[in-house]
Amino acid sequence: KAGVTQTPRYLIKTRGQQVTLSCSPISGHRSVSWYQQTPGQGLQFLFEYFSETQRNKGNFPGRFSGRQFSNSRSEMNVSTLELGDSALYLCASSSTGLGETQYFGPGTRLLVL
Amino acid sequence: QKEVEQDPGPLSVPEGAIVSLNCTYSNSAFQYFMWYRQYSRKGPELLMYTYSSGNKEDGRFTAQVDKSSKYISLFIRDSQPSDSATYLCAMTIAFGNEKLTFGTGTRLTIIP
């Protein structure tokens, strides 16, 4: 079974731009969570989607948004990029999201200049 | 203060040694505790998953949870160079809540 895939793997943007990252979960998984990983803060939860609905949300500003499609693929969008948004963005999928094992993708490394 | 504290290391030990990795937490509502391993340029992968207090063993890995002290540990026996990675503790309140709270990770190097 193919794992979680994320595209693109690397991205360079400038301040003020916006970016869209994509995540394809493991086939059959309906829950997709997004995390931001930085050296100083570690992994921080952004949000979780299940069946196209946002079910959980972390403490990030409204510039961070996401959505999930009917095939469970998910996108996250960051508008008006700031230097501090430079990070590894990870998505994780699980079958129902009810405390089941989350499987992580390799991440998208975003650099904001 | 962060909800979950983890010594970032780096930690270097010789091959074959016993490794002890630890996290402390402040939220007494955490019930489910996990350890993830993350290799360079990869996403985290789940190693161990425990519920409430107690021990759980899986091969060379043992996870311990002491809820009274709000302290969790991961022990690696007979450490191998392939164990060199960053180890992240994570915890959550309950089933149905997918918001995992992570420690910042401990970078471990096993020296051959």
pLDDT in tens, chain A (113 residues): 689 999 999 999 999 999 999 999 999 999 999 999 998 888 999 999 999 999 889 999 999 999 999 999 999 999 999 999 999 999 999 887 666 678 899 999 999 99
Q: Which of the residue ranges A27-31, B46-50, B90-94 has the most confident prediction, judged by mean pLDDT? A: A27-31
User: Which of the residues B98, B100, B104 would you substitute to probe the A interface, choosing the one with the greatest number of A C-beta atoms within 10 Å?
Assistant: B98
- Identify all chain B residues contacting A58, using CB atoms and an 8 Å cutoff: 99
Question: Would you state the pLDDT for residue A41?
Answer: 86
The rounded mean pLDDT for chain B is 91
Of B32, B104, B105, the CB nearest to A99: B32
- The whole-angstrom separation of Cα B35 and Cα B6 is 12
Residue A49: closest C-alpha in chain B: B98
Please report, in angstroms and rounded to a whole number, the separation of the first and last CA atoms in chain B: 37
CB spacing of B105 vs A45 below 8 angstroms: no
Mean pLDDT of B76-85: 97
- Interface subset of B 8-67, CB within 8 angstroms of A: 32, 36, 41-46, 49
Of B45, B88, B99, the CB nearest to A56: B99
Angle at A58 between CA A20 and CA B29, to 5 degrees: 150
Reported as a single tens digit per residue, the pLDDT across B16-39 is: 999 999 999 999 999 889 999 999
- What share of chain A in percent tops pLDDT 90? 84
Is residue B86 scored above 80 in pLDDT?
A: yes
Is residue B8 scored above 70 in pLDDT?
A: yes
Of B43, B97, B103, the CB nearest to A106: B43
Question: Would you state the pLDDT for residue A99?
Answer: 61
Question: Would you state the pLDDT for residue A39?
Answer: 85
- The whole-angstrom separation of Cα B63 and Cα B57 is 6
Question: Would you state the pLDDT for residue A95?
Answer: 84
Residue B98: pLDDT band with limits 50, 70, 90: low
CB spacing of B102 vs A48 below 8 angstroms: no
Cα separations (Å) of A33 from A46, B28, B103? Answer: 7, 24, 17
Of A42, A97, A104, the CB nearest to B98: A97
Question: Would you state the pLDDT for residue A30?
Answer: 92
